Amino acid sequence: MRTDTPVRDIPSTDIDPFSMESLADPFAADGAVREIAPVVYVAKHDYYAVTRFADIRKGLRNWRVFSSTDRPFYEDSEFRPRIVLFEEPPAHTRTKAAIMDVLGPKNLGWMGEYFKEQADLLVDGLMRDESVTADGYLDLSIGYVLKVFPDVIGMPGEGREALLKFGSAGLNAFGPASEHRDRKLAAGSEAVAWVEDNINRDALRPDGLGAQLYAMADEGRISENEARDLVKTVFAAGFDTSTSGIASMLRAFGDHPGEWQKMRENRDLVPAAWEEAVRFYPPNRFGGRWTPDGADVDGYRLPPGAKVLMMWLGAARDPREYDDPDVFCIDRPTPNGHLAFGFGLHTCAGNMVARLEATTLLTSMVERISFVERAGEPRTAINYQAFGHEYAPLRLHRA
């Protein structure tokens, strides 16, 4: 515990971050909780929200204090990960190294070439006329990710739409019981059978990332069950997050055509544009932790055994961290150290793949499209743990 600051009582709030109203505008809900205090007790669901950028980053640096072996809303289900995310060293060191090996530099080269080929095909196919109306979610994000992501893993072509329901249910599982959650989980259950069948060794193509994980089991680096769990984790963690991030990025450009012009004039801004997009619209709203021995957050004392949510979506708009946090600006003057991929021990294992996927599509688009504007009212998806768009209408003008 810090000794230079007196221990303060943690305020509680009756804002319900999981109400339908909050889910319709999580930036407003999480922003309101963030402005109460750095840590706030959410009485209705008996957990503590850590709300501000600096405190979340500091907390995530210390995985012993903010442990990920338990968290709020963590009942066992087919969507709860069994590996990596809720492990700690030494088990985590081994499984994370295995998955990072597969999702890292040794595969990024060929993946990048394949992503570019498919992104070019998709955008050329779409831009047959001088100006086209398209849905940034369905036509672009899903059209692209549902092709390239399962392909590089080595999943079969048939039935892969199941990933849409599986991903959405997975990220709705981590919140309170409600009609909304029941509906999403029921829809996701239909997809579970497909996922369980297709994470098996025999279902995967021999030249994909999934087969590489099973090859590690053959070498004795991980067990057969761990390989299977890692393939499932890749299915669960990699799809909905990437599609949400890409659709939200395209919506942001539709709302800010001037930012597209900046990128047209300077293609080197493509990587920074993606980083700003996931800062502005984080695809993942929070991460769960617990404090086995209690913890200090800026002078507030969390009790031993407290369940905690690190609210990184709200932190993405923290005015203590960013100038004009509610402005989408692809060339922010300061390095954009956002928390969209988490931070510390559990930093996203697929962040390089997601970055490659998104920046490759964006490059193909910026090469071919001179102007992007909004073509209707976008709709965000209602989800407990994910933030994304289910509809992002755009008018695209061919270069």
- The answer to whether residue 234 forms part of the interface with ligand HEM (CB under 6 A) is yes
CB of 273 to ligand HEM, least distance (A): 14
- State which of residues 51, 242, 360, 364 lies at the interface with ligand HEM (CB under 6 A): 242
- The answer to whether residue 65 forms part of the interface with ligand HEM (CB under 6 A) is no
Secondary structure of the chain in HEC code, one letter for each residue: CCCCCCCECCCEECCCCCCHHHHHCHHHHHHHHHCCCCEEEEHHHCEEEECCHHHHHHHHHCCCCCECCCCCCCCCCCCCCCCCCCCCCCHHHHHHHHHHHHCCHHHHHHHHHHHHHHHHHHHHHHCCCCEEEEEHHHHHHHHHHHHHHHHHHCCCCCCCCHHHHHHHHHHHCCCCCCHHHHHHHHHHHHHHHHHHHHCCHHHCCCCCHHHHHHHHHHCCCCCHHHHHHHHHHHHHHHHHHHHHHHHHHHHHHHHCHHHHHHHHHCHHHHHHHHHHHHHHCCCECCEEEEECCCEEECCEEECCCEEEEECHHHHCCCCCCCCCCCCCCCCCCCCCCCCCCCCHHHCCCCHHHHHHHHHHHHHHHHHHEEEEEECCCCEECCCCCECCEEECEEEEEEC
Nearer to ligand HEM, 155 or 354 (CB): 354
- State which of residues 22, 51, 172, 241 lies at the interface with ligand HEM (CB under 6 A): 241
How far is it, in rounded angstroms, from Cα 34 to Cα 102? 37
At 346, list the tokens.
Answer: 């559990």
Stretch that binds ligand HEM, among 194-202, 221-229, 232-240, 256-264 (CB under 6 A): 232-240
Residues 266-305, mask of contacts with ligand HEM (x by CB under 6 A) = ------------x----xx--x------------------
Nearer to ligand HEM, 22 or 68 (CB): 68
- State which of residues 72, 188, 208, 245 lies at the interface with ligand HEM (CB under 6 A): 245
CB of 240 to ligand HEM, least distance (A): 9
Nearer to ligand HEM, 40 or 356 (CB): 356
- The answer to whether residue 388 forms part of the interface with ligand HEM (CB under 6 A) is no
- State which of residues 118, 233, 291, 364 lies at the interface with ligand HEM (CB under 6 A): 233
**CB nearest ligand HEM: which residue?**
350
Alpha-carbon 357 to chain mean position: 13
Nearer to ligand HEM, 42 or 85 (CB): 85
- Total site size for ligand HEM, rule CB under 6 A: 25
How far is it, in rounded angstroms, from Cα 379 to Cα 295? 38
CB of 264 to ligand HEM, least distance (A): 23
Site for ligand HEM in 346-365 (CB under 6 A): 346, 348-350, 353-354
Site for ligand HEM in 76-135 (CB under 6 A): 84-85, 96, 99, 103
Stretch that binds ligand HEM, among 174-182, 219-227, 238-246, 261-269 (CB under 6 A): 238-246
Nearer to ligand HEM, 241 or 363 (CB): 241
Site for ligand HEM in 321-350 (CB under 6 A): 340-342, 346, 348-350
Contact by Cβ (8 Å): 115, 361: yes
Nearer to ligand HEM, 145 or 263 (CB): 145
Give the footprint of ligand HEM on this chain (CB under 6 A).
Answer: 84-85, 96, 99, 103, 233-234, 237-238, 241-242, 245, 278, 283-284, 287, 340-342, 346, 348-350, 353-354
